[in-house]
Chains A and B, each alone.
Chain A
Amino acid sequence: MSATGTEYLNEVAASDYEWGFVTDVESDTVPKGLSEDVIRLISSKKSEPRWLLDWRLKAYAHFEKILAERGFPTWAHLDYPEVDFQNISYYSAPNSKPKYESLDEVDPKLLETFERLGIPVTEQKMLAGVAVDIVMDSVSVATTFKDELAKKGVIFCSFGEAVEKHPDLVRKYMGSVVPHTDNLYAALNSAVFTDGSFAYIPKGVRCPMELSTYFRINAAGTGQFERTLIIAEEDAYVSYLEGCTAPRRDENQLHAAVVEIVAHKGAEVKYSTVQNWYPGDAQGKGGVFNFVTKRGICEGDDSKISWTQLETGSAVTWKYPSVILKGDRSVGEFYSVAFTKGKQQADTGTKMIHLGQDTSSTIISKGISAGNSQNSYRGLVKINPKASGARNFSQCDSMLLGDRCGAHTFPYLEIGHPTAKVEHEATTSKVGEDQIFYCQQRGISEVDAIKLIVNGFCKEILSKLPMEFAVEAQKLLAIELEGSVG
């Protein structure tokens, strides 16, 4: 490859993080450290009922047990220092006032933050047509379009509010898909989660707009532990979006979230993520550790859960959005673009657990590695012995932009039924010199050709994102990719 191409790829690998500003708002942060007392404090600050505190304490006991017996999970293709759980503050709320009655009460600086991030918080941006719940550090700061959603019977609010107003739903479903015993970080989240989003779509309702949650870590020395719970009743439909950013910090910040989705008979949930936490600087200093447990269950027949993700941020990503296909003829999908550069490490993929009859799943994963980054796909397809007629197709393509990065594929295919049809294929390549040559012949510069080819490589996934998000995602990937090349 000629000098310009190489230079361009170097710039891509070195390009900067645009969302690294800090918003100077007062925050109420509890001292660092993890103990039962801290959990009691979080619970009391949120005025939680007794059952929730008990649940947290149970999870905490389990967390301590896993940490003592099994330690940190080491099977992922990741290399990072062990997290010091005592050196994190587990609760940080912007402003000392923990709850807002309306947007007018929100600190203007906060609103400004979200303006800068391009998140339509204010009602004036109604045209954007997306209901947003915003979680800054640990608490939900704003939820828009509540009234309109309420008319349809859709509940969309912060997790804290759901605990208060819809305790029966929360008690019934919380931990039903990701139990507190699932893994170390899920246990930690269950013990210390501070807020998150809750969505409930009643029977037969097609949610009239996209629901969106925006997560931001702002305060220093804090971790973010949010929980999202989405329940779609029979024949309901919802499309849910999640975005995230964090300021630049020299230390590693921990983000350990749990997302649970329940889709009843005939329901469809589409969950899209644009993950753009601070990835650390070029030397690998700082950045967010993103250890997330996301899982959905197709509880009823003919239900569908679809995960779409664009992963561009975080120093370390450990994330496997999964679907349990319990209902007959249920469908699970996973579409992912993971872009790593600098010293980022990503170990991400999915799990498709086929339990019902005639279930099908599709996995399409595109990994792009640049700089000194490591990008791994790790996915499980499991066909239960009773899951007749299961169908899976997986495709994992990796592209390497440079000779100091790595691209890895670790699929696990566990097949227990003869009628299952399971296919997996993966390729690893770089931007082809023949492809660049073809473009150049047609008057396209080498740099533009690389952009074109990389965009084409991901297009299949990005087109799965909801329209409002696709624009943002394409912009994000373009910025990640383009560096300063115009």
Chain B
Amino acid sequence: MSERQTIESRLLETWESRAGSAMNGRLHDGRELAMARFREAGIPAKSEAWKYTPIRRILERMPLLSLGAAAEGDTLSAADVAAFAIDGLDAFRVVLVNGRFRADLSDLAGLPAGVRILDLRNAASDPAVVEHLDGTGQEARDAFAELNSAFVQDGMVVVVDAGIVLERPVFIQHVLTAGSPALIQPRLLGVFGKDSQARIVEVCRTIGQDHVLTNAMSEFHTATGAVIDHVRVIDEHKDAVHINSLRSYQEGGSTFSTNVITVSAGVVRNQSYFLPDGENCETHLSGFYLGQNGAHIDNHTLVDHAKPECYSNELFKGILSNKAIGVFNGKVLVRQDAQKINAYQSNKSVILDDTARMYSKPELEIYADDVRCSHGATTGELDQEAMFYLQTRGIRKDDARLILLEAFAADVLDRIRLDAVRDHVDALIRRRLSQN
């Protein structure tokens, strides 16, 4: 019990000590409420949602985290950040160092009219922020979402007005660099107007080796007819704990796709909530996890079909080896009277040795009868016959293994529509697989 009080009360103390420097207006009110809710919820000790990721124990093991790290990143230069660029990606570049926007490292030149990319710190009174920040998915909020809202200060706002098709993608680089153990809580709000189109790419990387807890939250509000494509690549070091809450709200007739690629060495929890809140929505969610050397990767999704005539398609695949733990908990919820839903969910994992574990929990919760819902989950090793086939054709065993693993990953990676990003991720995964 005393430990429990320690973590929450420590955060509360930090929060109170920073309340003076808080932002004005609505954000501040929201923070009070969020902190109260966080204190009520508490960091889960034993819960069905965190069954295979003992987050409380993980956080208790971490050293004392300070919030002061944001300033430590001020010395970071353009050259440091350039190392994390994606070759051949022509995009508007946004760099967040320890969650804080760095205009000097970013490149937003040529942003067309009707598109705004803003630092949340200075955008509290922007109509998009006022209307949509913490605006959706209240039922899916948990302690970490509350915690993020309680401290909300740093982050980005991307607004694409109705009818605008943003040709160049928005590339958001999250760089973590902490000289001491740090808690970083970046925030992303995307508001996409009617019939707009945009592509968002996020890459999360760490510099340095200190303990860091990222508690990120992204909210996307996609209006009727809009088509949004989102990719997030998480590649952090072994002492990084990354909790990433995504909430997507869709109006009728919109399409939202997200793909989360996790190759971190530490602990990652991707928890996503999708609410297609109108007819004829399309929701594509996919993810790939490469767990090596003691990594712990947990993908937790909920697709909440509240309205009829929608389509959702979920595919998560992963490769696990050497003491890595993979978790998949996906739920498709079809509410009463949400008829004519087509929902598919699939989770496939390859385990490469007997020290790795996979916990898969694909769930369906259905309250309407005229629906087509299915899910599947498979776990196994590489097909020995396929290995043999390749070897008989003169391919070395290691190469054969690599070919098969890459082919396995391709189902998910091919869903990344931006060629440069896909090539980058392909190469990253190939490199990691051959290192092992």
Contacts and interface: CB of A to CB of B under 8 A. Distances in A.
Interface of A: 75, 77, 385-386, 388, 398, 400-430
Given A420-B351, A425-B374, A428-B371, A415 B361 contact: no
A428 B373 contact: yes
A399 B121 CA distance: 51
B307 interface: no
B419 interface: no
A287 to B, nearest CB: 21
Contacts of B353: 418
A289 B249 CA distance: 40
Contacts of B351: 415, 417-418, 420
B380 A408 contact: no
B62 interface: no
A414 B379 CA distance: 9
A243 to B, nearest CB: 30
B380 A426 contact: no
12 contacts: A385-B357, A400-B368, A400-B371, A403-B368, A405-B367, A409-B364, A418-B354, A420-B380, A420-B381, A421-B381, A424-B377, A428-B366
B363 interface: yes
Interface in B358-376: 358-376
A432 B337 CA distance: 17
Name A's interface SS.
strand
Contact of B377 (A404, A405, A408, A423): A423
Contacts, number: 122
Nearest to B358: A415
A404 B370 contact: no
Interface residues of B, number: 36
B363 A408 contact: yes
Contact of B378 (A406, A407, A410, A422): A422
Contact of A410 (B361, B376, B381): B361
Contacts of A388: 354
B4 to A, nearest CB: 16
Contacts of B349: 415
A224 to B, nearest CB: 30
A424 B362 contact: yes
Contacts of B364: 398, 407-409, 426, 428
A406 B366 contact: yes
B339 interface: yes
B372 A429 contact: yes
A236 to B, nearest CB: 34
B25 to A, nearest CB: 40
B233 interface: no
A421 B380 contact: yes
Interface string B327-371: 000000000110100000000010111111111111111111111
Interface string B142-163: 0000000000000000000000
A409 B375 contact: yes
A425 B369 contact: no
